[in-house]
């Protein structure tokens, strides 16, 4: 069942600036972390959050066809898992980026006074994502026409604002201390717009992510005592905003574990990951899963549990 856009917008507003929620904006071609927390300011253009040298704006309405996609994936920790919410918009056919710096106009900045100012487009954007630099002086525009690899070394030390703009979220970070944009070079070679482990339905492209507090760790590599309330909160989000087929699969696995049954479901890549996540969460909720499940689906977890005995 598709989630109500109003429910999606209410959830996003509640998470924007909330303690422990990490945000990123962009695609593998160009993305930026949003580290600010606190109470966002209501503006005509949406909610604006500022802090840590960064400002971000969450638009007041989801773009047509946009949706939230809650997901759980495996982590490198054999006992762990990741979770998050992707903000997805309809994918549009665009020519592959040449990664050449061009000059453009900033039509929708956070500060209305900046509207119409020239900006440098890094050429790192994918689909509806634009990755920009708004230099404080005209000297920055000398890199126009250069390839990004060459231009980034020049503009990285210049004052100005780095910008990642999407139909859902926009982030701006003050420059002068290095390039604030991150980029995965392989994204351009493969045209990959998101991690292959994220179960994004065809026709959508994630342009931002929010990562609510994890129930079993402070941050990657820093485990903590399992928090059932945090787990329950994200499961409620997953039930509403996750892929319905994967949610039903997870519930079927949990029902089998509770009943002591083993009727292994047929799975694809994403389905197999869902089963393994359910087994890893079962360790916290009810203890180690039956060995037959671990031998079939999650030998790394089986080895980790055996090593702790």
Residue with tokens 């773009």: 63
pLDDT for residue 187:
87
Asked if 18 and 121 sit in the same domain, the reply is yes
Check whether 33 has a pLDDT greater than 60: yes
| Residue range 213-230, pLDDT digits in tens | 999 998 777 889 999 999
pLDDT at 98: 80
pLDDT tens profile 169-208 = 999 998 766 788 999 988 888 888 999 999 999 999 999 9
Q: Are residues 156 and 301 in the same domain?
A: no
- 48 CB contacts (<8 Å, ≥6 apart)? 40, 41, 55, 56, 57, 110
Domain that holds residue 248: 243-308
Q: Could you tell me the CA-to-CA distances from 82 to 62, 121, 210, 222, 230 in Å, in that order?
A: 25, 33, 12, 13, 13
Same domain, 60 and 185: yes
Tokens 């003050």: give the residue.
Answer: 174
pTM of the model: 0.94
Distance CA 219, CA 300 (A): 21
The sign one gets for the Cα dihedral 206, 212, 218, 222 is negative
Residues 277 and 169 in one domain: no
* Number of domains within the chain: 2
166 and 251 both lie in a single domain: no
193 and 268 in a single domain? The answer is: no
- Is 219 inside any structural domain? no
- In 57-80, which positions are buried (b, 16+ CB within 10 angstroms) versus exposed (e)? bbbeebbeebbbbbbbbbbebbbb
pLDDT for 13: 96
User: Are residue 72 and residue 140 in the same domain, yes or no?
Assistant: yes
Tokens 């050429």 sit on residue:
123
- Model pLDDT, residue 1: 46
């Amino acid at each position: 069942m598709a989630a109500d856009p109003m429910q999606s917008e209410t959830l996003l507003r509640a998470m924007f600036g909330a303690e422990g929620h990490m945000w990123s904006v962009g695609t593998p071609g160009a993305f930026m972390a949003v580290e600010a927390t606190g109470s966002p300011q209501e503006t005509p253009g949406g909610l604006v959050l500022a802090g840590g040298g960064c400002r971000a704006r969450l638009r007041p309405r989801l773009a047509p066809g946009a949706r939230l996609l809650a997901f759980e994936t495996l982590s490198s920790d054999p006992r762990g898992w990741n979770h998050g919410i992707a903000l997805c918009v309809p994918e549009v056919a665009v020519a592959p980026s040449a990664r050449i710096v061009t000059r453009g106009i900033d039509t929708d900045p956070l500060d209305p006074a900046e509207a119409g100012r020239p900006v440098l487009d890094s050429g790192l954007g994918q689909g509806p994502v634009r990755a920009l630099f708004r230099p404080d002086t005209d000297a920055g525009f000398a890199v126009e026409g250069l390839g990004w690899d060459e231009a980034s070394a020049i503009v990285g030390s210049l004052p100005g604002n780095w910008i990642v703009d999407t139909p859902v979220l926009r982030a701006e970070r003050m420059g002068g201390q290095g390039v604030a944009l991150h980029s995965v070079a392989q994204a351009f070679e493969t045209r990959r717009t998101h991690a292959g482990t994220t179960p994004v339905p065809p026709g959508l492209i994630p342009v931002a992510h929010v990562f609510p507090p994890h129930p079993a760790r402070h941050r990657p590599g820093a485990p903590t005592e399992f928090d059932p309330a945090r787990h329950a909160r994200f499961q409620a989000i997953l039930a509403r905003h996750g892929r319905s087929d994967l949610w039903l699969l997870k519930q079927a696995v949990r029902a089998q574990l509770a009943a002591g049954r083993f009727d292994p479901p047929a799975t694809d890549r994403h389905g197999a990951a869902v089963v393994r996540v359910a087994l890893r969460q079962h360790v916290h909720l009810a203890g180690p899963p039956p060995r037959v499940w671990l031998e079939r689906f999650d030998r790394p977890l089986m080895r980790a549990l055996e090593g702790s005995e």
